[in-house]
Structure 1
Amino acid sequence: MTAMHADSEASRLEKAEDLRQLRESAEDFASRASPLVRARGLRGTALGYDRAFWDALVEQGWTGLLAPQECGGFAQGFAAAAVIVDALAMQLAPEPFVPAVVFAGRAIELSGGGPVHAELLQDLVGGKSIPVVAFEEQSIATAVDLTPRTVRAEKFSGGWRISGTKFNVRAAAGADGFVVSASLPTGSQSLFWVPVASAGVAVESRQTTDGGDSATLALDGVVVPDRHLLSQGSRAEEALTRAFDEALVMTSVELLAIQRAMFAMSLDYLRNRVQFGRPIGSFQTLQHRAVDLLIQKELTAAALGEIVERLDHEGAPRMRSRDASRAKARAAAAAVQIAKDSVQFHGAIGYTDEFDLGLYVQRTIVLSAWLGNAWMHRRRFAALDNVTEGAQA
């Protein structure tokens, strides 16, 4: 083995050990600080989550996991972020880690390195602000579409005036501001920072199946200063697309964690529920169905393993988008299937709200649809499937 190979192997082993320690710490923290009873108790509350628990995530340093060091972050990458996302998802922690830290945080960072970008990232890392992204312009989308058309921004002497409506803005009820995509008079697109307290901003929230919130964001001639223009043109398009793809992958990590939890609960029930004098798991039909679910879960894990690893390395944008849609399509379809069969395995108790399985099923419904469902991402993947590893566009 050459010295270079030895150094590479040592580096790989060191990284694996760091991730193992982070996983143990994250799982221990999440299980102690956020048991399922906490998630159940927060359903339907004004925010759907606990701002005090968000402060605890800040103290853990997790809100700064992806942010650059010059903004107070740790720049640890997506392999580390996936560990945190997985631990929180296993406990169904309702705090908007992926919407705020991944989607919004990365959209801000990728938009530029100006003073307002640094300020917003510092506020996110320090827990002073929770940003979310508002990009959807259809209340019921039938395809993945990141291009703003009806929300428009016009320049005037005092800054920018933004008008239009965004739909399906997740975690908007507790957001301190929005990363809003808008079209410009030139026909290009842009990203703006819009504080929630701005005049003309109206947030109409509705409760989602899992007890969280999704909102319609109405912008009625909202005026923002020039410095709140985060990016425009190709840079805005690339920043939103990349942040969207990264959020897709991390949402898929959440769905995989939920798959594991539902599958474990189902196996436990099959082993312990007795009918006709024997555990129902001894019946061959149920064994075959359980194996089918195991295959779905393991296929998701295998796909995500390589996609998360690639996410930390620069690559062709369309290749990254293809990977992201592949991850979401696989994770969402498998999670929905495991949720359905898990309920059927449990029989009548699986339909009751009091049984914890229902909490995972409800979160599956929300996450499988957020940012596009499996069918939409199969279509997006198919459109990108002719991209080769060397493609640059």
Structure 2
Amino acid sequence: MTVIDADRAEGLRLLRESAGAISPRGGSLAAVRALRDSETGFDRAVLAEMGGLGWLGLRVPDASGGAGLGVAELCALAEEMGHGLRPEPLVAIATIAAPLVPEPDVLAGRRVLLPAWAERPHTLDPFGDTIATSDEAGVRLSGRKLAVPMAAGADGFLVTAREGETPIVALVERSAPGVALTTASTVDGGHLGTLSLDDAPARRVASDASALVARLLDEASVATAAELLGLMERAFAITLDYLGTRHQFGRPIGSFQALQHRAADLKIQLELARAAVGHAASMCDTDAPAERRAAAVSLAKARASDAAMLITRQAIQLHGAIGYTDEADIGLFLRRAMALATSFGTATAHRRRYAACAPPLDLDA
């Protein structure tokens, strides 16, 4: 893992502080509650505010109108968004849409493009059965993409497909002929879209895209792990505060040794996830070999997903009966963890990839 120098560490601190304008630490979750089960699932005005702050173009080079910053900076922002449970698709746009289509409206958040890459559960292969065929205007797409988060709020989709044996990425407008979108609600009040394409006209944005898409999806995965890290950190802090204020038998329940042991175990899982996310971000930033990067990213995503589910479930139990009510904020963290844990690959899919990519142990060393 690379050591972040003092100047970059200060930049990361300032970036985290700037996030308070949208997702203040310890702030009210009333706005997030109001967005649950809405048509888009997120606030486009807030997304435009993110664009105005330069967040959506954070991974876009300076020459293309972006900030040209690294994955560590993106993870810092994603972690802060996790603290506030913000539902805007910052990660999907900053890691995939903006680098592929660095147009001013996309970078400013006025035009929402979302990646549509998944075709089968528990697999990380972005190039499956979706077919692209060339025509005079560009390409036409036929196939189906699953589990597109917040798809109803998109103006267009960046679709991975195969043109013969060549992996490509093409941009299809939501309103284009041959495009059908259905959505299903998720437990956090958002939704997942299924995108069906029947000879839909599209614009090619990348060819021979296998290595490029693999890198972008890795960055999206580690940023999602960072978002989970922020989520579980705040859920843990809320729970510790509750253990210190809730009294039973004349004492704070946090003074009971059994609960202290449970809290200590959760803290260990939180810090292990933090270390894994930091290592994966540094592997992305240092242009490590693809297999080493993939192994580090999959380790981080699987660990963060599992830790977030453990910590948020335990948090609800440690709150007692009130934790199970919808009025209690702690339940929002479990619901969001359930949605993010499957975003950009489930823990199962990432464990399988880690097993395939991790270097073998040298037992004789």
Gaps of 5+ in 2: none
| Equivalent of residue 233 in structure 2, options 260, 269, 291 | 260
Counterpart mapping for 1:209-248 below 5 A: 209-224=187-202, 228-233=203-208, 236-248=209-221
Q: Which residue of 1 aligns with 2:158?
A: 179
How far 1:166 sits from its partner (Å)? 0.8
Provide the secondary structure at the position in 1 that maps to 2:69: coil
How far 1:143 sits from its partner (Å)? 3.0
Provide the secondary structure at the position in 2 that maps to 1:64: coil
Distance of aligned partners of 1:159 and 1:65 in 2 relative to their CA distance in 1, 3 Å threshold: closer
Aligned residue identity for 1:286? L
Q: Which residue of 2 aligns with 1:312?
A: 285
Confirm whether residue 69 of structure 1 aligns to residue 48 of structure 2.
no
Tell which deviates more after alignment, 378-387 or 120-129. Answer: 120-129
How far 1:321 sits from its partner (Å)? 0.9
Counterpart mapping for 1:17-56 below 5 A: 17-31=10-24, 35-56=28-49
Q: Which residue of 2 aligns with 1:162?
A: 141
How far 1:376 sits from its partner (Å)? 2.0
Provide the secondary structure at the position in 1 that maps to 2:327: coil
Q: Which residue of 2 aligns with 1:130?
A: 112
Contact 1:101 1:124 in 2 (8 A): no
| Equivalent of residue 131 in structure 2, options 138, 152, 156 | 152
Q: Distance in 2 between matches of 1:294 and 1:348?
A: 23
Q: Which residue of 2 aligns with 1:335?
A: 308
RMSD of equivalent CA atoms: 2.0
TM-score, reference length from structure 2: 0.93
Contact 1:67 1:121 in 2 (8 A): no
How far 1:377 sits from its partner (Å)? 1.1
Provide the secondary structure at the position in 1 that maps to 2:125: coil
How far 1:301 sits from its partner (Å)? 1.0
Distance of aligned partners of 1:32 and 1:346 in 2 relative to their CA distance in 1, 3 Å threshold: closer
Provide the secondary structure at the position in 2 that maps to 1:54: helix
Q: Distance in 2 between matches of 1:155 and 1:99?
A: 27
Deviation digits for residues 243-263 of structure 1, max 9, x if unmatched? 111000000000000111111
Q: Distance in 2 between matches of 1:299 and 1:173?
A: 35
Q: 1 or 2, which has the higher helix percentage?
A: 1
Q: Which residue of 2 aligns with 1:14?
A: 7
> Identity rate of aligned residues, in percent?
39
Aligned residue identity for 2:151? A
Aligned residue identity for 1:232? S
How far 1:148 sits from its partner (Å)? 1.9
How far 1:68 sits from its partner (Å)? 1.4
Provide the secondary structure at the position in 1 that maps to 2:175: coil
Q: Distance in 2 between matches of 1:32 and 1:65?
A: 21
Q: Distance in 1 between matches of 2:82 and 2:248?
A: 33
Deviation digits for residues 19-74 of structure 1, max 9, x if unmatched? 22222222354229973110001101111111111121122221221111122111
Q: Which residue of 2 aligns with 1:197?
A: 175
Distance of aligned partners of 1:128 and 1:93 in 2 relative to their CA distance in 1, 3 Å threshold: same
Provide the secondary structure at the position in 2 that maps to 1:257: helix
TM-score, reference length from structure 1: 0.87
Q: Distance in 2 between matches of 1:100 and 1:14?
A: 27
| Equivalent of residue 377 in structure 1, options 325, 331, 350 | 350
Q: Which residue of 2 aligns with 1:114?
A: none
Q: Distance in 2 between matches of 1:284 and 1:81?
A: 38
Contact 2:25 2:84 in 1 (8 A): no
Contact 2:48 2:110 in 1 (8 A): no
